[in-house]
Structure 1
């Protein structure tokens, strides 16, 4: 993958900057997802015209038919890093010949299962390894990494505080008393 500095990524950023210059509220975008249960512990997530299936491995009660939620998070982090590296390489005029990113996270399931409330339910640590090669100096690639770390939205979700507000909507269904004829 050679970074093509003539691709329209800079044009996208420039057009966005122009569009929001007079109205910062125009920069706000809302992304939506909807999930429904599937199988024992799986789910189908609707993301606009796309559907993502999520499941757990058998050791966590699932059938292992799809990635589990924390694997989906890792894939989100990696894919966001990839696009952010590409955008910022172009913004900074840095050529990338090869780019690959790996991520792994340590999860102690005692937190998820409520076996120890002092253990965090999420990852205790996440390690990201970025492999980049090209004609630039190590210093230029370090400059690129700094820009990516500062601007990657999914990385920011992990390292910053994002308020999450949950609304529970309950609906009672009428059920015939046990033994009653309908």
Structure 2
């Protein structure tokens, strides 16, 4: 099934019932017993590991949470570029995305309450290849910037609630 088939099928499903546009995702996280920083993550039928580098008290068995956040942004960009290239009819032969982020540990460790614990700056670099004119790829970049779900998370405040179970 092509991406244009997926887009059209989704369009028809949402057109017939707007409730079909609402989707939910869930991820379960648990500290691996006997470790200080290793987390087992379950996503549908998939699993991954999260850890910290030794400088942050971990054993460096996996990427850390903020690296996964950058990976989520980069991979969502790649997927969104593919979808929007198909939707706009822009030929695309390759997409490469690099994401860099700067974090000040003053906030995470509570050394300064004036410093955010999250990223202070995130930079996304996108390399596109294909036979279209440069203005078409700029049109594609604007569409992706407008519609990428994870980019939206980074750019806009999202309501989040936490509670103890």
TM-score by length of 1: 0.87
Q: Does 1:158 align with 2:154?
A: yes
Q: Per-residue deviation at 1:22? A: 3.3
Unaligned runs of 5+ in 1: 1-6, 170-182
Q: Does 1:8 align with 2:8?
A: no
1:64 to 35, 60, 67: 60
Unaligned runs of 5+ in 2: none
1:139 to 135, 140, 143: 135
String of CA shifts for 1:145-173, please: whole Å, max 9, x gaps.
Answer: 0000111111011112211111212xxxx
Q: Does 1:91 align with 2:103?
A: no
Number of matched pairs? 163
Alignment of 1:31-70 (within 5 A): 31-38=25-32, 39-70=35-66
Q: What's the C-alpha RMSD, in Å, of the aligned pairs?
A: 1.0
- The separation in 2 between residues aligned to 1:13 and 1:167, in whole angstroms, is 36
Runs of 4+ in 1 over 2 A off after TM superposition: none
- Report what 2:145 is aligned to: 149
String of CA shifts for 1:59-95, please: whole Å, max 9, x gaps.
Answer: 0000000000000011111110001000111111111
Q: Per-residue deviation at 1:98? A: 2.3
Q: Per-residue deviation at 1:8? A: 1.2
- Range with bigger deviation, 144-153 or 130-139: 130-139
TM-score by length of 2: 0.95
- The separation in 2 between residues aligned to 1:97 and 1:20, in whole angstroms, is 29
Q: Does 1:27 align with 2:27?
A: no
